[in-house]
Amino acid sequence: MQLDVLVTHNILYMQCFYHAFQIHKLHASDHLLKAWSKSFFIFIGLSVLLEAIHVALPLATHAFIVKACWDLSLILLGVGIAVSWNIGASVLDTVLIKKVMLSFSLISFFIYYVSIIIVSDNFIIAIFYYTLAVLNLILVLIVSFNTSHNSKIMPGIIALFLILLGTCMQQMGSQIPAIGLSKNAAFDVFLIIAFAMIMITLKYFIVKPKTPLISPYTVYYI
């Protein structure tokens, strides 16, 4: 059992549920974005909770229970990532983009599910699936910041780059020996910080008056 991972997992899933509760209490101008954002934190929180249970299981636990717990954790994580595509679409707030993103999120989740659960534990595809979603949100927030120049968008951009950095460190096996954290616990710390920053940006988008960032009727003159 990795004690540091168990501790950071517990902090992370409680943080996710707390953020979901915070979003639930917001008086939203964009109810769809509110629903997607709340769903994101719930699915990620449940995934981390199951992973924490997986880490805490005794060595003598039946292999079926261990695998079921791990697989369900990956499925919930995949659903959470699929939801993130729809968060980005809701931020851009155009009907076409929402339809395209919803379709893409369903197709990409299906490929992820088949690759991870049915075929084999192909974590190369999983990492690509996670990374692509983060890059999409970075692009969405950059477009948004370029349009509104609101300082509350910057924490979200920084947080997403922090997640990418944490992912790279985790895959390279980097640890934080100064505070005695393993690579997985260190990644949890990156996520805890990043999610707190992302909440600042999400709150801004959820409560602000709805104005599409990309209008389908905009005419560009050259």
Which residues face 79 on adjacent strands? none
Tens of pLDDT, residues 37-75: 999 999 999 999 999 888 887 766 777 788 888 889 999
Would you call 122 helix, strand, or coil by DSSP? coil
Tens of pLDDT, residues 167-199: 888 777 656 655 667 888 888 999 999 999 999
- 2 pLDDT higher than 70: yes
Output the pTM of the full model: 0.86
Tens of pLDDT, residues 81-119: 999 999 999 998 788 888 999 999 999 999 999 888 777
Helix runs in 57-94, H state only: 63-92
Tens of pLDDT, residues 114-131: 888 777 666 788 888 999
- 210 pLDDT higher than 70: no
Of 49, 103, 100, 106, which is closest to residue 82 (Cα–Cα)?
A: 106
Tokens of 12: 């992370």
CATH number listed for the domain at residues 3-207: 1.20.1070
